A and B are shown apart, each in its own frame.
Chain A
Amino acid sequence: MRGIFAALALCMAMPVALAQDAPPPLSPECEAPTADIASPAPLPHLAERLGQKAPAIRILAIGSSSTWGVGASSRKKTYPALLRGILDSALKGTKAEIINRGVSGEVAQTTAERLRTAVALDKPDLVLWQVGTNDALARVDSAGFEETLRSTISWLKASDIDVMLVGLQYAPKFVRDDSYLTIRETLKKVAVAENVLYVRRYDAMQFIARHQNGADLMSTDDLHLNDLGYECMAEHIARAVIANLFVRRRDLPKPAPPAPQP
């Protein structure tokens, strides 16, 4: 797969323009409809940094266990580590530095407190906030969850830092869990209202689980991601970043990859 990216990177005489037209390809196991991967929204500040040909961009990956990488076979197989490799290849000439600040099992409010200090000290260009699963499990009230998200996102926006929300994972166990559904809906609602990029992890994972029988993203317990799960997560996030770098309007049409037939 690295070979594909290397080839892609070699072709990128005009990385910015190409990045817009051709986001990094997905591994066959990770294929999912574009609409299931992310709800689009612009990343204006990151785009500006890249437009200035910045030698490096800094991304703060904050969140809980999926950020820390529970279930990955090594630290090199966590989603932030994999994402760095993909973005390094896709953004030719710009290094992606990714800081992993995942703490497993943390609810949004605790993360939000850490986030402000982490942003002040690490000064990222983009914050990837993976959030929601633990709030659903801790039965956190959705109004409080929404308030935490909104105040943090408003602050990041006012500080000229782009933010991307990375949603809850799909697990068959939670299909009928009310709390899980409510938190997922709240996340979606906040992303739309605040016009921030939202990675629809649940939808993409559900699509893959239902349509690609050979590909299992989960460990045997059906709850944790395995290495392939993290690979797909990183690929989806990378695709969302690249595809949305120059999105200006929310409704900008994007080419959808061919969806495999069930």
Chain B
Amino acid sequence: MRPPNELDFWRGLALATIFIDHVPGIIFENYTLRAVAISDAAEIFVFLAGWSMRLLVSSRSVRQMDGLHLVLRLEGRAFTIFAAQIVITEIALAMTAAGSLLLENPLILEWNNASAVFEDPVEAHLGLVMLSHQLGYFDILPLYVVLMAFAPIAVLVDRYFPLLLLPLSLALYAATLATGVNIPTWPVEGRWYFNPMAWQLNFVLGFALAAPHGLGGFVRRHRLAMRWVAAPLLLAGVTAAHYNWSPDPLSLPEPQLFLMFDKTYASPARVIETLALVALFGGLYPHIAGWFGRATAFFSMLGRNSLNVFCVGSLLSLLAQFVRFTLGGGFGIDAGVLFVAVGCMYVTAWLSEWRDRARP
């Protein structure tokens, strides 16, 4: 296993944060990034996914791969994530069904957009497999599937025409925000919660900034200047969040999505705030590890096994909703929920690594 490192640490912290953000009403949601800033842990998670893609394609074995093998490798990863999405969704549905039976409350069948599956199973099952029907809070992996399915394009453009990658990504992003286009959901009419055509920018930025050359190299050479730019931007974001201020979409000139703080379309303010966070906190890891060695090792272990931990965390957040429904909220219960859940996420990471070690 690789030793604790910056990428895994932040990713682990993002995973724990996402768990909290997915338990509505839990007290600790008032202290996650979402509560103090205009962006949240989902942006960090996707940005770091792009970052880790860079590490993957820079590895010697992948650099020596020809285009076809590279595409197959990344599509294989996309399929793994797709399979994970299908498995956790099915388990979440079974948990929902069990919850409604045990607690004798059919209203639970409606939680998290699950009702179409129980009400309209024929269409909803098609939708589940096509990712056009997503349960509430189980909507990040579908984005990840799409990002990974199209990642070969980003990687190949970067390999052969590196200067084109960011302009192409920005053009797709701008076109998406200008038109408001998004993938429709079915059978429940609506739109994807995470619009992949907008969110790809977070992924591509992570991928571009992780590179030692090009934009990534430029930023590293001017780290201090970047921090001077980032600090007031982050301060502005935090101030806006503190006063619960956001631009009034109706008084904005069209297309409003460019100036709103919209999550579905990853509006620029959110992307910029994520970049500011990266500029300010990137590179601090050695100090954090020096002060909180055990915590960094703990979160790094979660981050090293991010897909498994994410899947278990998603199911635990649903379980936590049942616990809070049955026992009510409050500090004691919420603290217990968080402690047990993060503990289970740690056990998941430990088991994943134990299994890998046990392999011949």
Contacts and interface: CB of A to CB of B under 8 A. Distances in A.
A171 to B, nearest CB: 8
Interface residues of A, number: 42
Contacts of A119: 249-250
B interface residue count range (under 10 / 10 to 19 / 20 to 34 / 35 or more): 35 or more
Interface stretch (A27-35, A47-55, A109-117): A109-117
B39 to A, nearest CB: 13
B113 A103 contact: yes
A213 interface: no
B11 interface: no
A105 B115 contact: yes
Contacts, number: 100
A68 B108 CA distance: 15
A151 B115 contact: no
Given A110-B136, A223-B106, A224-B106, A65 B250 contact: no
A104 B114 contact: yes
B190 A103 contact: yes
Contact of B25 (A70, A141, A155): A141
Contacts of A100: 189
Contacts of A223: 105-107
A120 interface: yes
A71 B119 contact: yes
Interface stretch (B57-65, B256-264, B282-290, B292-300): B256-264
Interface string B169-186: 000000000001000000
Interface stretch (A82-90, A130-138, A196-204): A130-138
B360 interface: no
A134 B111 contact: yes
Contacts of B111: 104-105, 134, 137
A171 B116 CA distance: 21
Given A100-B189, A110-B24, A179-B328, A117 B136 contact: no
A133 B188 CA distance: 19
A70 B249 contact: no
The 10 closest A-B pairs by CB, nearest first: A120-B249, A105-B111, A140-B25, A104-B115, A65-B110, A221-B106, A104-B110, A105-B110, A159-B250, A70-B115
Interface of A: 64-65, 68, 70-71, 100-101, 103-107, 109-110, 113-114, 116-117, 119-121, 123, 133-135, 137-141, 144, 151, 155, 158-159, 161, 171, 173, 179, 221, 223-224
